[in-house]
């Protein structure tokens, strides 16, 4: 009898545990869509005077507001917790929407990040206050921009321009607060990994796996 118990613990129990956890992972391979098919940026230009598009990119989307220099710590948190770990993926970009007139302060933030980070996947695009408000409103989010046209939250947008997050009432999550490093290290990192897993699984299924993701 004791021999059977020992065999069960050594061989059967680990298999049962593996199947249990594997089934849990497989049931959570999709991050829900909060807002489908959000608008692209159109003719908005970046700090490098380039057009930036959401199409065919996994995008971390933010809104700096006019006090970007004052709130630069938020970008350093995001850079440390998420960007530095994943920025080498070609299909990923970090895009921040900024008000026209903040180009000088924005460049100071980029230069500060560039002192210790490859900032090639950071993109700061500029628009008028009216354009920023209209763009944010079409995201159809619960959260709002502050009086300076900014928010500490960033959002995950997939390659099809769907804004993704958590839809269940108990843990509804449309954005991730860059002011709190723990929010980035835990909830955002978990959800971001789900997006990456989703695309890797699709690539593998289509036999097109690459190092881009």
Place 162 in a pLDDT band, splitting at 50, 70 and 90.
very high
Mean pLDDT (whole number) for 105-123: 97
Q: Phi/psi zone of residue 207: left (φ > 0), alpha (ψ -120 to 50 degrees), beta?
A: left
The whole-angstrom separation of Cα 188 and Cα 140 is 20
List the beta bridge partners of residue 156. Answer: 60, 164
Residue predicted with more confidence, 204 or 73: 73
25 has pLDDT over 70: no
Please tell me the number of Cα atoms within 13 Å of 142 on its side-chain side: 10
Q: What pLDDT does 199 receive?
A: 84
Q: What are phi and psi of 173, to 5 degrees?
A: -145, 110
Contact 87, 193 (CB under 8 A): no
pLDDT bracket for residue 182 (50, 70, 90): very high
Q: Decide: residue 182, CB within 10 A, 0-12 exposed, 13-18 middle, 19+ buried.
A: exposed
Q: Say if CB 163 and CB 174 are below 8 A apart.
A: yes
Q: What is the mean pLDDT of the chain?
A: 87
pLDDT tens across 143-158, in order? Answer: 999 999 999 999 999 9
pLDDT at 11: 56
């Amino acid at each position: 009898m004791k021999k059977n118990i020992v065999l069960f613990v050594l061989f059967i129990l680990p298999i049962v545990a593996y199947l249990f956890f594997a089934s849990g992972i497989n049931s959570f391979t999709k991050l829900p869509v909060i807002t489908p098919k959000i608008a692209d940026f159109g003719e908005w230009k970046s700090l490098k005077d380039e057009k930036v598009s959401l199409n065919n990119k996994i995008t971390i989307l933010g809104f700096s507001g006019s006090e970007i220099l004052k709130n630069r710590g938020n970008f350093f948190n995001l850079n440390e917790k998420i960007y530095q770990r994943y920025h080498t993926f070609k299909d990923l970009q970090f895009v921040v929407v900024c008000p026209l007139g903040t180009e000088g302060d924005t460049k100071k933030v980029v230069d500060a990040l560039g002192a210790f980070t490859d900032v090639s996947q950071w993109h700061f695009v500029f628009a008028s206050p009216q354009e920023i408000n209209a763009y944010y409103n079409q995201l159809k989010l619960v959260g709002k921009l502050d009086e300076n046209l900014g928010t500490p939250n960033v959002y995950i947008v997939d390659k099809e321009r769907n804004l993704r997050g958590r839809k269940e009432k108990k843990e509804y999550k449309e954005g991730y607060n860059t002011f709190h490093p723990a929010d980035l290290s835990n909830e955002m990192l978990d959800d971001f990994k789900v997006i990456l897993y989703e695309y890797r699984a699709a690539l593998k299924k289509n036999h097109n796996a690459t190092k881009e993701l």
